[in-house]
Amino acid sequence: MLLDPHAFETKSVIGTVLPPRRLAGSERLLRAVREVAGPHAEVVSHDETPWASITFTGARHKLVLRFAGSEAVSDGESFVVRLPEHEFQLRGRLVADAAVTRVDHELLRAPLMEVECEILVLDEA
Protein backbone atom coordinates (compact mmCIF):
# COMPACT_ATOMS: atom_id res chain seq x y z
CA MET A 1 0.00 0.00 0.00
CA LEU A 2 1.44 3.34 -1.03
CA LEU A 3 0.81 6.52 0.95
CA ASP A 4 -0.14 9.78 -0.67
CA PRO A 5 2.44 12.37 0.51
CA HIS A 6 -0.09 15.19 -0.07
CA ALA A 7 -2.44 13.70 2.51
CA PHE A 8 -0.13 14.79 5.34
CA GLU A 9 0.15 18.22 6.88
CA THR A 10 3.58 19.83 6.48
CA LYS A 11 4.90 22.45 8.89
CA SER A 12 7.41 23.95 6.51
CA VAL A 13 6.85 25.20 3.04
CA ILE A 14 9.59 25.81 0.52
CA GLY A 15 10.00 29.53 0.03
CA THR A 16 9.05 30.46 3.58
CA VAL A 17 11.04 33.49 4.69
CA LEU A 18 12.47 33.20 8.19
CA PRO A 19 12.81 36.30 10.34
CA PRO A 20 16.39 37.59 10.66
CA ARG A 21 18.30 35.90 13.46
CA ARG A 22 19.57 38.13 16.24
CA LEU A 23 23.29 37.87 16.78
CA ALA A 24 24.57 36.78 20.16
CA GLY A 25 27.05 39.03 21.95
CA SER A 26 30.04 36.85 21.10
CA GLU A 27 29.05 36.77 17.41
CA ARG A 28 28.87 40.58 17.37
CA LEU A 29 32.30 40.76 18.98
CA LEU A 30 33.77 38.36 16.41
CA ARG A 31 32.37 40.46 13.56
CA ALA A 32 33.82 43.61 15.11
CA VAL A 33 37.25 41.98 15.59
CA ARG A 34 37.23 40.80 11.96
CA GLU A 35 36.52 44.37 10.84
CA VAL A 36 39.55 45.63 12.78
CA ALA A 37 41.76 42.71 11.65
CA GLY A 38 40.95 43.02 7.97
CA PRO A 39 39.73 40.64 5.29
CA HIS A 40 42.74 38.31 5.40
CA ALA A 41 42.39 37.38 9.08
CA GLU A 42 41.27 33.89 10.01
CA VAL A 43 39.90 33.24 13.50
CA VAL A 44 41.64 30.04 14.58
CA SER A 45 40.12 29.77 18.05
CA HIS A 46 37.76 31.62 20.35
CA ASP A 47 37.18 30.89 24.03
CA GLU A 48 34.65 32.74 26.16
CA THR A 49 34.78 32.67 29.97
CA PRO A 50 32.17 34.32 32.20
CA TRP A 51 33.57 37.20 34.22
CA ALA A 52 32.16 39.17 37.17
CA SER A 53 33.20 41.74 39.72
CA ILE A 54 31.21 43.28 42.56
CA THR A 55 29.60 45.80 40.19
CA PHE A 56 29.89 44.33 36.67
CA THR A 57 29.23 41.12 34.76
CA GLY A 58 30.48 40.08 31.37
CA ALA A 59 32.87 37.71 29.65
CA ARG A 60 36.56 37.45 28.86
CA HIS A 61 37.19 36.42 25.27
CA LYS A 62 40.46 34.84 24.17
CA LEU A 63 41.00 34.79 20.41
CA VAL A 64 43.75 33.51 18.14
CA LEU A 65 43.88 35.01 14.65
CA ARG A 66 46.05 33.80 11.79
CA PHE A 67 47.34 36.04 9.01
CA ALA A 68 48.80 34.01 6.11
CA GLY A 69 50.68 35.73 3.28
CA SER A 70 52.58 39.01 3.08
CA GLU A 71 49.49 41.17 2.61
CA ALA A 72 47.75 39.41 5.50
CA VAL A 73 50.80 39.82 7.76
CA SER A 74 50.69 43.55 7.03
CA ASP A 75 47.04 43.54 8.17
CA GLY A 76 48.10 41.58 11.27
CA GLU A 77 50.76 44.12 12.19
CA SER A 78 48.20 46.88 11.84
CA PHE A 79 45.75 44.89 13.99
CA VAL A 80 48.33 44.54 16.79
CA VAL A 81 48.77 48.33 16.85
CA ARG A 82 45.07 49.25 16.54
CA LEU A 83 43.36 46.72 18.84
CA PRO A 84 44.22 48.14 22.28
CA GLU A 85 42.85 51.61 21.40
CA HIS A 86 39.95 50.57 19.15
CA GLU A 87 36.49 51.80 20.20
CA PHE A 88 34.14 48.86 19.70
CA GLN A 89 30.46 49.56 19.02
CA LEU A 90 28.58 46.61 20.53
CA ARG A 91 24.92 47.12 21.38
CA GLY A 92 24.32 46.43 25.06
CA ARG A 93 28.00 45.72 25.70
CA LEU A 94 31.12 47.68 26.59
CA VAL A 95 34.67 46.60 25.82
CA ALA A 96 36.56 47.38 29.00
CA ASP A 97 39.94 46.02 27.92
CA ALA A 98 41.51 44.68 24.74
CA ALA A 99 45.09 43.46 24.76
CA VAL A 100 47.42 41.52 22.49
CA THR A 101 48.97 38.75 24.60
CA ARG A 102 51.09 36.89 22.01
CA VAL A 103 52.43 37.41 18.49
CA ASP A 104 54.25 34.73 16.49
CA HIS A 105 55.92 35.39 13.12
CA GLU A 106 57.19 32.87 10.57
CA LEU A 107 58.97 33.89 7.40
CA LEU A 108 60.10 30.56 5.94
CA ARG A 109 58.08 29.09 3.10
CA ALA A 110 55.50 31.89 3.31
CA PRO A 111 54.94 34.78 5.72
CA LEU A 112 52.64 33.77 8.59
CA MET A 113 51.59 35.60 11.73
CA GLU A 114 49.47 34.41 14.65
CA VAL A 115 48.06 36.89 17.13
CA GLU A 116 46.47 35.98 20.44
CA CYS A 117 44.38 38.61 22.17
CA GLU A 118 42.11 38.92 25.18
CA ILE A 119 39.06 41.15 25.23
CA LEU A 120 36.99 41.88 28.34
CA VAL A 121 33.37 42.65 27.44
CA LEU A 122 31.01 44.00 30.10
CA ASP A 123 27.22 43.88 30.01
CA GLU A 124 25.59 47.31 30.07
CA ALA A 125 22.81 47.01 32.59
What number is the average pLDDT over the span 34-50? 95
108 inside domain: yes
At 33, the pLDDT band (50, 70, 90 cuts) reads very high
What number is the average pLDDT over the span 81-85? 95
106 inside domain: yes
Check residue 110 and give its pLDDT: 87
103 inside domain: yes
What's the per-residue H, E or C state across 26-61? HHHHHHHHHHHHCCCEEEEEEEEEEEECCCCEEEEE
At 109, the pLDDT band (50, 70, 90 cuts) reads confident
In total, how many domains does the chain have? 1
What domain range includes position 67? 48-125
123 inside domain: yes
Check residue 124 and give its pLDDT: 85
Say if pTM beats, i.e. exceeds, 0.85. no
